[in-house]
Amino acid sequence: MIIERKEYLNKLITWKDKQLIKIVTGVRRCGKSVLLKMYQDYLKNNGVKESQIVTINFEDFDYEELTNYKNYIII
């Protein structure tokens, strides 16, 4: 069962076109990933192409190299 978090989703939508990084935090299993999936669905339903949406799950071993900041140059 998915609980819709309209208040949180609306906050993300409000900040949609702002040139700021959006950060969603919370304890484990509180619905952060579900909220972001709902936001992705909102974006797709409102004209954003799927190719414009980047999703990275840092618990997925395919992205393991991204978890080591020493691999990147900080500007």
Q: Where are the domains of the chain?
A: 1-12+28-75
Q: Among residues 27, 26, 24, which one has the least CA distance to residue 12?
A: 24
Which structure tokens are listed for 24? 């969603």
Q: CB–CB of 71/65 below 8 Å? A: yes
Q: How far apart are the C-alpha atoms of 29 and 47, rounded to whole Å?
A: 30
pLDDT at 67: 80
- Each residue's pLDDT tens digit, 9-64: 999 999 999 998 888 999 998 999 999 999 999 999 999 999 999 888 878 888 88
Per-residue pLDDT at 70: 76
| pLDDT category of residue 3 using cuts at 50, 70 and 90 | confident
| Residue 44 pLDDT | 97
**HSE-up of 41 (CA within 13 Å, CB side)?**
9
